[in-house]
Structure 1
């Protein structure tokens, strides 16, 4: 799993089989100091995350297994909305 921040939305009326009724968000992976790392990516969201929220994402086959169609072309999925996290003596809200 990765920490990420939701930075945008994707609207796509035409989608491949297995992606129907799936909300897509653009997420930016972050480090523990909330700094962007790597490239932003589109992630499936079934839990209702919103722009500006910090989330947990999973990628690859674990993300794909979250859909009804196990052969859907999903590569990333939001699996949790972060309320806060703590690293050593630092905490982040």
Structure 2
């Protein structure tokens, strides 16, 4: 699972028929420790997430296992909405 943030919605009137009925979200990865910029991608929403929410996302074959139809061409699925994240800051102590 990966921590991500929902940054938008995708509407596609023409798409693979098996994707009909799925809500598509634009997702931005969050990297709390390296603070580097990651590329956005599209994920299927299985939990009713909205813009601005931090979410848990699974990718690859795990993304299809969440859905009822495992033949859907999906490689990312939102599986949870995060309520809170407790961060532990790593510090390197020099002698």
TM (norm. structure 1) is 0.85
Structure 2 regions of 5+ residues with no counterpart? Answer: 90-95
Q: How large is the RMSD of aligned CA atoms in angstroms?
A: 2.0
| TM-score relative to the length of structure 2 | 0.83
Partner of 2:22: 22
Matched positions, count: 90
Per residue, is there more strand in 1 or in 2?
1
Cα displacement string for residues 17-73 of structure 1 (whole angstroms, at most 9, x for unaligned residues): 32110000001000126x564210000002111101100101010001122221111
Q: Which runs of 5+ in 1 are unaligned?
A: none
Which has more helix, going by share of residues?
A: 2
In 1, distance between residues paired with 2:14 and 2:55?
A: 26
CA contact (8 A) 1:25 1:45 kept: yes
- Residues 76, 36 of structure 1: alpha-carbon distance in 2 compared, 3 angstrom cutoff: farther
Runs of 4+ more than 6 Å apart = none
